[in-house]
């Protein structure tokens, strides 16, 4: 498990490309038959990745957490961004196709990841936050959450937002999570760009061809910076940082938040004309 410390707006103004990537980009989440994780002090979220190929992967705890089991004080949303697979939570199998989301509540003990076939392994992306109570483990198949359609072809940001873990869907203590899929010919996500003063948000980009990239915007609206992001790489966006992006090819992304509150629309927009 890597550890990333919090940053503030004054710091990012002096960051070069390498410093931006070291602080905000998580580019090594997925490795065959391993569970990899990054702990961020931004709202104490954990990003994790499991790609089981030869056999199954058991979710470990980590010294950083100081708990016997990963979920002793935590909850998580997990989205499968690879081939079909299964997550077994305390002996109960949850079959997950691409894009499906599983909520795992505080108190779960044994969590095991497996792929349906080694030829097309699953890739399980985990986003975890601290939790003060337990909610039941709940599976949401791809496309079965609350569906919102935003944007337009004319502005290259026609997109479908699948809300999975949220106030009016699967309940949680802190985690809010879903998947956004861009329409044909649309490349912009999250326009207008915005900040969440009360929440950290992380993006995991997927379904991006190997030769393509997403240019992800971050920083303050009048002091923007960018990251070049490849397939199955994640971006940590602190509460003070805006987030938006443009792809050179088609893609989807998992968005996940944790912090002070859970209302999806609690955001402060930064119109394109205001960005610097």
Q: What pLDDT does residue 185 have? A: 87
Query: If 0-12 CB within 10 Å is exposed, 13-18 middle and 19+ buried, where does residue 222 land?
Result: exposed
Asked whether 6 and 42 are in contact (CB, 8 A), the reply is yes
In this prediction, residue 263 carries a pLDDT of 79
Cis status, amide bond into 26, omega within 30 of 0: no
Query: Over its length of 276 residues, how does the chain's per-residue pLDDT go in tens digits?
Result: 999 999 999 999 999 999 999 999 999 999 999 999 999 999 999 999 999 999 999 999 999 999 999 999 999 999 999 999 999 999 999 999 999 999 999 999 999 999 999 999 999 999 999 999 999 999 999 988 888 888 888 878 888 889 999 988 999 999 999 999 998 888 999 878 888 888 999 999 999 999 999 999 999 999 999 999 999 999 999 999 999 999 999 999 999 999 888 877 888 888 888 889
C-alpha 209/C-alpha 250 separation (Å) is: 8
Closest CA to 166 of 80, 262, 79, 253: 262
Question: How far, in Å, CA of 40 to CA of 224, rounded?
Answer: 21
């Amino acid at each position: 498990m890597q550890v990333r410390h919090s940053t503030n707006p004054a710091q990012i103004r002096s960051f070069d490309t390498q410093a931006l990537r070291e602080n905000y980009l998580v580019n090594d989440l997925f490795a065959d038959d391993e569970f990899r994780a990054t702990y961020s002090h931004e709202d104490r979220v954990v990003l994790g990745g499991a790609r089981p190929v030869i056999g199954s992967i058991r979710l470990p705890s980590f010294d950083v957490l100081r708990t016997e089991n990963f979920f002793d004080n935590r909850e998580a949303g997990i989205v499968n961004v690879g081939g079909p697979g299964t997550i077994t939570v305390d002996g109960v199998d949850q079959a997950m196709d691409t894009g499906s989301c599983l909520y795992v509540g505080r108190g779960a003990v044994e969590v095991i990841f497996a792929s349906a076939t080694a030829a097309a392994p699953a890739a399980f992306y985990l986003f975890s936050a601290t939790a003060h109570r337990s909610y039941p483990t709940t599976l949401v198949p791809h496309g079965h959450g609350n569906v919102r359609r935003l944007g337009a072809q004319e502005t290259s940001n026609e997109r479908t937002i699948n809300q999975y873990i949220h106030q009016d869907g699967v309940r949680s203590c802190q985690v809010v999570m879903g998947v956004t899929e861009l329409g044909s010919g649309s490349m912009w996500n999250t326009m207008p760009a915005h900040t969440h003063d009360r929440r950290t948000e992380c993006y995991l980009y997927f379904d991006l061809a190997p030769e393509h990239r997403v240019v992800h915007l971050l920083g303050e609206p009048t002091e923007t910076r960018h990251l070049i992001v490849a397939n199955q790489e994640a971006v940590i966006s602190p509460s003070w940082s805006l987030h938006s992006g443009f792809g050179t090819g088609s893609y989807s992304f998992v968005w996940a938040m944790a912090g002070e509150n859970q209302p999806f629309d609690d955001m402060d927009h930064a119109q394109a004309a205001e960005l610097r």
